[in-house]
Structure 1
Amino acid sequence: MVKLNTQLISIFVVVVLVYACVPASAVEESEAKQLWDTCLLKITPNCALDIIANVFGNGTISDLCCHDLVQEGRVCHDTLIQYISDRPSLRANETQYLKKSDDVWNHCVSVSKIAKN
């Protein structure tokens, strides 16, 4: 029961973060729903939070989350990070966030390649 509550809370936090961070003018409602349906459901809420924490803070990302991220795909990853970094409060450091996003992606691709071998 506790695990289910933790998962529900994690999902709620991810939804709130995405909707809070996505500028209304950047994404039409149908685009946001399509992005949600095709991208965010491929990774766990905890991994989504780890990715966001890594790009926009000092968080870490596990090998398992890296695998999920690579399965999600580069377009989904880039689009989500771009939407979040486009917030007025984050725009000043957008270049830094996009660089960290690339670093996370490259790290995760290398981790996924090693896991396959």
Structure 2
Amino acid sequence: MAGLGAYSLLVVLFITSSVVIATEENNQIIIKNNCEAKIGMPCVWEVFKSIFKTGSVTNKCCNELVVLGKVCHSALVQRALECPNFQNLDRDTIIQKSIDTWNNCLVMTHLPSPFA
């Protein structure tokens, strides 16, 4: 019985240390690339709403997202997924929506404007 308890403790320690390492890695990426300063808060909300709930991203916010860069976008989404508020969400769905949002914005920013 003691062996099972020790094994369970090791599994819990491994899982929690992996989350801490992932969090630290994402935070280092965000700090190193100055990610939080590259996109305005209204666009942060718009992008995250499109990923974590439903909605679309305007051209203005797509431009800000593309300027932010894929590395920052991915790190910010991963950091959000590590928050307790988002633990019950389907990670695969969120990651796919994040990729879709990025790809849609990439297409939007490379198309000529119909008003040009």
* TM-score normalised over the length of structure 2: 0.68
Q: Distance in 2 between matches of 1:98 and 1:33?
A: 18
For the 8 Å contact 2:70–2:102, the answer to whether it is kept is yes
Distance change >3 Å, CA 57–CA 27, structure 1 → 2: same
Distance change >3 Å, CA 115–CA 44, structure 1 → 2: farther
The letter of the residue matching 1:69 is L
Larger radius of gyration: 2
Q: What 5-or-longer segments of structure 1 have no aligned partner?
A: 1-23
Shift of 1:103: 0.2
Determine if the alignment matches structure 1 residue 40 to structure 2 residue 61: no
User: How many residues are paired up?
Assistant: 92
% same residue: 26
Determine if the alignment matches structure 1 residue 105 to structure 2 residue 102: yes
* TM-score normalised over the length of structure 1: 0.67
Q: Distance in 1 between matches of 2:66 and 2:109?
A: 7
Structure-2 residue corresponding to 1:19: none
Say what the alpha-carbon RMSD is for the aligned residues. Answer: 2.5
